[in-house]
Structure 1
């Protein structure tokens, strides 16, 4: 539809609706006006021809009148053409096309009038001469009005309609029809030419419009964008340097016009030839005349290195001759620095600056690949700081972070250039030794690390002391893959921590067996808690003088269906590591309270509480729930804690103990003197009982002066603070007599009874009426 509307507009039978149509109209008028002198010249030749042929047979008045009319019409047509040309066709109108049609019609009428005015019938020579002239006039008119079909048709139709007058005799019928057909054929040819003219100029107008848009966009892109355009000639020299490109280099366009592109980008490196790899790649692409994109290379600008990204394609002329390159460039320094920073964060620890876990693993992979089956191969050290958690809890993470940065600094200083150290996470670090000279070298480096990391640290106004434990593994014996080697080093570190820390332990094969045993115990323990495989035993606590039972200590035991009884020394540490100690402890508490309510009202039940339980905000609520559900008087419940709770003061354990005391619950300090003993602990919390560990009881029974002195001191301290003392592990009459002499108020041990079931404990009170269920 659009093509049909454009053709009708070109014929003068419609209006141009868009800018492209107006451009086509201007092209029609411009073409017609351009060839107007040709039409004028032919009309003048025709006029002279008519004077030459018909001056004898036609009255002079006719010739003069017709000639004046012809010249007047030509003059008017020239004036209109000059007027349109003076306006530069800036605002073409359809009426201009109509006026052109009027001019064509006027010329057609004049030549049709010549057919009527000039005699021919009596002279066949004049007839053929006139027909020849008329044919030339029609062809010339058609050509000169070809871009304006309306003018061409207006010119040809009067001539065609006058053909019967030209050929009047019957014998000239065929010539008459030929003349009419000839004129109509020229009209049809004009329409077809106009259709092609409109199509071609429409495409040209659209291309010109797109070119203007592209030029505008390129100009805006060049002036306001962060990128710029550049091009070279066939010799790889800069050509047509844009202001934006030169401004980015800090130069004037004239300074670099005609210089080799690589020279401009190389800067001072051009003299010594030490080009960056990116410049070499650019030179290769230019030499091979091949396209390239997103080529990043360093560029020296004002003594500083910037990063540019270039893309370009080769240019060729119509004959396929290489003309150079044209491309686009942009400054990607900011993106490059951001990418480098991201890469840094991806492979390095942001706090310490050491390689992170993944980078450390990559280094270990490379070391193991290089070592192969060599014996000894490479080694991996896993380092864990001792007592770091206490610093974090008491002084805060900010101090802890500063401490870690100092640890990293010391670790860098200890390790040689061939050794690769990094931070695994938290307070764990790792060291890769790519080539181990002998096993003693690993032990020596581990000892140096422990010694350096154990020296005092000065952080802000604090002097801090932490130790370090090291576990090591060596390929290929301890692992043929990096994951296996890290696992082996981790097991060795676990052993070093289990021995108190501050030591180095190498991996041994049995550590895997122990780890597997712990894993199986953990899985079975989770199932035991769900399937009620645990049970509670009760060990009597008696009065040292009277020998009567004053309480029981609740002890959890586990009997596995297949493995049989499992020692608490095995499953309790696993429960603490697996975070199962809290649910197990709450179950023991509820069970013990439910049983103790059946005993006499002066008999207490003691339940052990781990440091982890005291860190839970819900622990106090669990104790209250157990007392409420069982109906046990809070004064009959005694909770036993060890000195380890004081190593986590920042967790709020002391606050929880104060809340328990406010409920009327008794507190007992278990294993006093075996851990982190400090008299300050006793001043912070009002304990009711201090329990003396069996190791001191055995030592005192063997007359060891140190053990005797410790028991006397503890008893004296407890009496002065209003506390009682309980001696644990009394198994003989001699030990009982000894602790009585030393002043212990209560005694617990196999001498008075082993841990027993709840029903057996109830039998110790035969005259007490048990509460009905």
Structure 2
């Protein structure tokens, strides 16, 4: 009984000690409350003054980092999804094309301040590197000093959606903004995708102290820098930014603190009062804590041994019973002598039903457990494992892995013990992974890998002309608008329904595969004539054009089909895929919702266009562009008032090419921005050489309003040339306003603030120009040349011209007629009070020297 009595005395002493401490703490708390109330009142006053300044600073720091991320995201996407980059940096690494020709690398450091540009291949090796504008042999991971393989894999997974990976990393203690995107052939049908994972393009923007400070100054933030410790993130003038590898970093800045003066004056007085309160509290608690420790020591020693023993027993019990595996023991004849409680939970069998029975009746393995054990060393004590299976109580066959070891006694092996692990889910998961590697996860259709195997098997049988193998490349029309209007979730539902419709139309022996995005490949056999293929294409297009009902909404899309046949076109799988894609390109160019059979001249046309595109990329650097100028005259004074800047291309083999030969290519490949910048700068510089203050007019592409930093480029051209903004006129068509009218209006208003003139080109050919003229800040309009053909003898055409001139007068716009080719047309325009005219009758486009000579005459 003595230990029990001592235990109760210890508990009583501990209770008294606890009550004493609570009383002293309560008295101390009352004193602290007085200090806290006074401090809180003061801090609240100062906090209200500082709160708005800190909140505004946080907003602009977030905007600064977001702007930097958007910039590098757009830049890496433009290069990674460019077919030529895929050809020269993945299919075959050509550093001469990338670095010496300045297609990708040296200009990114001075233009965008990207310190690192790397290309990493499928094996994780850096095949091309540019560090601070200089070509280097250093690897991406070596330069970044960390493992970036997970980011590279993520970029490859997102390549199908053309979505780069962007985020922050810490490089040498400094934050760095990195963007990764897998190199893809883009929409170029001439570039064949090679097997294996694509190479990954990596841009690195090191945010050093100077760059961070400049970034902050652009948004009105003082002393933007990296915080020394993450713990200081509790300060409100800081922003914690996550990194791609999970190590966040801290941005700090110096915020305005208008309430600090008040705190500096009064807080010292409150601090003195706090010291006094803390001293009193410390003296009171010191005595109480000393007494409590003496009581706690005696109490702890009393129960130390009992707690250690209980913890040891509980630990073994928890491990045995909480594990997902079950433990077993047998005698030397493999009869079960022990089963853990998890046995019944996992298998559903009762322990009592199996104790004393042979283990190999429960778990079976190839050849039998006893035969396997007989092959092992009789005196081996090492662990062994074997895969087997057993029947659970619910009748399901479970796959398991059981580990065992011998139990040895004086006379030899006395039994066995081990653990059984249920691996059914792992085996099923491996089977699912194998299925997913050959099938599309969204639609369940075979993917590119399965298609390649299926196609090679079919072609290995050498199809005959009478029994060809038909490949249909199907691309959905207007599908992008479904994602934009209804969201990607609705788009996925539509893709799933499309796959079902395609399966229904084809036979069981045929194959439907999804290549990615909205592109499908169909492999069809048993069709002997083109007429049968045409009927199949008609059924496919008709099936897809049926409305898709999603969430009580009807969605309409179409399809274009390219057809290639073996052996008529080729018997090689890669070429058959490429030829079907070329035919699909022709079908889309023919107006969509149709089909097209591959013909050999298609390849030649695509090759020629591809060559022209490649030559155009070199035209700027090779100084092959030429500026032409066509004068514009006043009808009343017959004097030259302006000159329109036109571009020609002096091709080294094809000679002088007009804009109809290459402008469309420039717009579809993104080359229109540098080409237009060249025209804009050259025209402004040329206008400064004229001895008369004439207007120079430059045409803009609708693509430039969506991309290309138009406002900045116009400012740069004016600043570099010194041309007054009032002498620059920008011509644009109404298609600029069709895509994003609100965004176009904002940009046009910004251009007007610079002082430049805006003119609507090709007026009269659109369907809503009147509303645009009333809403948008135009200075003039140009009547399309199509109205000039029969102007002199057509009362209807003359009435239209008079109406347009009257509209221009009402809106205070300068009206210009282009395409004037006869004196009769000029006379009619003079009678209609047209302001200005332009055309071959007055002057043809000429080189700058000829225009200067004309001005002198």
Q: TM-score higher than 0.5 here?
A: yes
1:474 aligns with 2:572: no
Separation of aligned partners in 2, 1:376 and 1:677: 54
Residue 383 of structure 1 pairs with residue 481 of structure 2: no
Superposed displacement of residue 438, structure 1: 3.1
Q: How big is the shift at 1:388?
A: 4.5
Residue 526 of structure 1 aligns to a residue in which SS? Answer: helix
Q: Does 1:302 align with 2:394?
A: yes
- 1:127 alignment partner in structure 2: none
Alignment partner of 1:410 is 2:508: no
SS at match of 1:669: strand
Q: What CA distance in whole angstroms lies between the structure 2 residues aligned with 1:555 and 1:250?
A: 84
Query: Superposed, which structure 2 residues align to 1:303-322 within 5 Å?
Result: 308-311=399-402
1:592 alignment partner, SS class: helix
- What SS does structure 2 have at the residue aligned with 1:765? helix
Partner of 2:521: 430
2: distance between equivalents of 1:462 and 1:288?
66
CA contact (8 A) 2:401 2:423 kept: no
Distance between the aligned counterparts of 2:424 and 2:742, measured in 1?
A: 48
Match of 1:551, SS state, is strand
| Aligned Cα root-mean-square deviation (Å) | 4.5
Show the counterpart of 1:507: 598
What are the equivalent positions in structure 2 for 1:28-107 lying under 5 Å apart? none
Alpha-carbon displacement from aligned partner over 1:717-746 (angstroms, at most 9, x marks no partner):
545444344333333334445555666543
| 1:458-473 equivalence runs, <5 A | 466-473=557-564
Q: In structure 2, do the counterparts of structure 1 residues 333 and 598 end up closer, same or farther at CA, with 3 Å as the change threshold?
A: same
What does residue range 433-452 of structure 1 map to in structure 2 within 5 Å?
433-452=524-543
Q: 1:645 to 1:450 in 2, by over 3 A?
A: farther
The match for 2:609 among 504, 512, 518 is 518
1:400/1:218 CA distance change after superposition, 3 Å:
closer
Aligned residue pair count? 532
- 8 Å contact from structure 1 (residues 471, 489) kept in 2: yes
Q: What's the TM-score once normalised by structure 2's chain length?
A: 0.53
Q: Which structure 2 residue ranges, 5 or more long, are not aligned?
A: 1-313, 376-383
Instruction: Please say which structure displays the higher CA radius of gyration.
Output: 1
Q: What secondary structure is seen at the aligned counterpart in 1 of 2:353?
A: helix
- Contact 1:382/1:493, CA 8 A, preserved across alignment: yes
Kindly indicate which of the two structures has a greater share of residues assigned to strand.
2
* Aligned counterparts of 1:356 and 1:739: Cα–Cα separation in 2: 63
Residue 316 of structure 2 is aligned to residue 228 of structure 1: no
2:345 is aligned with 1:247: yes
CA contact 1:243–1:252 (8 Å) conserved in 2: no
Q: Provide the rounded CA distance (Å) in 1 between the counterparts of 2:390 and 2:785.
A: 75
Is this contact kept in 2: 1:667–1:687, CA < 8 A?
yes
- Cα distance change of structure 1 residues 460 and 217 upon mapping to structure 2, 3 Å threshold: closer
Question: CA contact under 8 A between 1:221 and 1:227: conserved in structure 2?
Answer: no
Q: Give the secondary-structure state (helix, strand or coil) at the position aligned to 1:255.
A: coil
The aligned residue for residue 184 of structure 1 is none
CA offset digits 1:521-560 (Å, max 9, x no partner): 2222222211211111112233345543332221111112
CA gap of 1:501–1:283, structure 2 versus 1, over 3 A, is same
State the secondary structure of the residue aligned to 2:856.
coil
Are residues 699 and 620 of structure 1, via their aligned partners in 2, closer, same or farther at CA, if it must alter by over 3 Å? same
Contact 2:644/2:698 (CA < 8 Å) preserved in 1? Answer: yes
Query: For 1:530, what is the secondary structure of its paired residue?
Result: coil
SS in 1 for 2:667: helix
Aligned to 1:213: none
> CA offset at residue 756 of structure 1?
0.8
Deviations 1:450-502 (A, max 9, x none): 44444555666876554433323222333433322222222222222333333
Distance in 2 (CA, whole Å) between partners of 1:504 and 1:484 is 19
Match of 1:486 in 2: 577
Cα deviations by residue, 1:262-293 (Å, 9 ceiling, x for unpaired): 9867xxxxxxxxxxxxx9xx455669758996
Q: Aligned partners of 1:743 and 1:361: how far apart in 2? A: 68
- Structure 2 distance, partners of 1:517, 1:222, is 73
1:501 partner SS: coil
Q: Structure 2 vs 1, CA of residues 246 and 459 (structure 1 numbering), >3 Å: closer, same or farther?
A: closer
Question: What is the aligned partner in structure 1 of residue 309 from structure 2?
Answer: none
Matches within 5 A, 1:541-552: 541-544=632-635, 546-552=637-643
CA contact (8 A) 1:544 1:740 kept: yes
Out of 584, 587, 590, the position equivalent to 1:496 is 587
Q: How does 1:38-187 map to 2 (within 5 A)?
A: none
Moved more, 491-500 or 512-521: 491-500
CA positional deviation for 1:588: 0.7
Alignment partner for residue 638 of structure 1, among 729, 735, 738? Answer: 729
* Cα distance change on mapping 1:650 and 1:696 into 2, 3 Å: closer
784, 793, 809: which one pairs with 1:693? 784
Determine the C-alpha separation between the residues in 2 that align with 1:686 and 1:673.
Answer: 18
Deviation of the 1:620 alpha carbon: 0.8
Q: Unaligned regions of 5+ residues in structure 1, if any? A: 1-215, 266-278, 768-773
Task: Give a deviation string over 1:632-685, Cα, whole Å, max 9, x none.
Answer: 222222222234333432994443223212222222333345567565544552
Matches of 1:258 and 1:711 in 2, distance apart? 108
CA–CA separation in structure 2 for the residues paired with 1:539 and 1:489: 45
Is contact 1:691-1:725 (8 Å) kept? yes
Aligned to 2:422: 331
Seen in structure 2, the aligned counterparts of structure 1 residues 578 and 537 have a Cα distance that, compared at 3 Å, is same
In 1, the alpha carbon distance for the partners of 2:315 and 2:463 equals: 61
Q: Residue 543 and residue 363 in structure 1: after superposition, are their counterparts in 2 closer, same or farther (change >3 A)?
A: farther
CA separation of 1:734 and 1:647: change in aligned 2, threshold 3 A: same
Higher helix share: 1
Instruction: Give yes or no for contact 2:336–2:355 (8 Å, CA) kept in 1.
Output: yes
2:818 alignment partner in structure 1: 728
Residues in 2 aligned to 1:670 and 1:459: alpha-carbon distance in whole angstroms: 42
Structure 1: distance between partners of 2:335 and 2:833: 104
Partner residue, 2:221: none
- What is the rounded CA distance, in whole Å, between the counterparts of 1:351 and 1:721 in structure 2? 55
- In structure 2, the partner of 1:57 is none
Q: Retained in 2: the 8 A contact 1:537–1:557?
A: yes
Taking a change above 3 Å as real, the CA distance of residues 486 and 333 of structure 1, as seen in their structure-2 partners, is same
Q: Which residue of 1 aligns with 2:852?
A: 762
Give the distance between the partners of 1:627 and 1:286, measured in 2 at CA: 88
CA distance in 1, matches of 2:792, 2:459: 57
Listed as ranges, the matches of 1:505-654 within 5 Å are 505-544=596-635, 546-599=637-690, 603-616=694-707, 618-649=709-740, 652-654=743-745
Residue 504 of structure 1 deviates from its aligned partner by 2.0
Q: Secondary structure at the match of 2:820?
A: coil
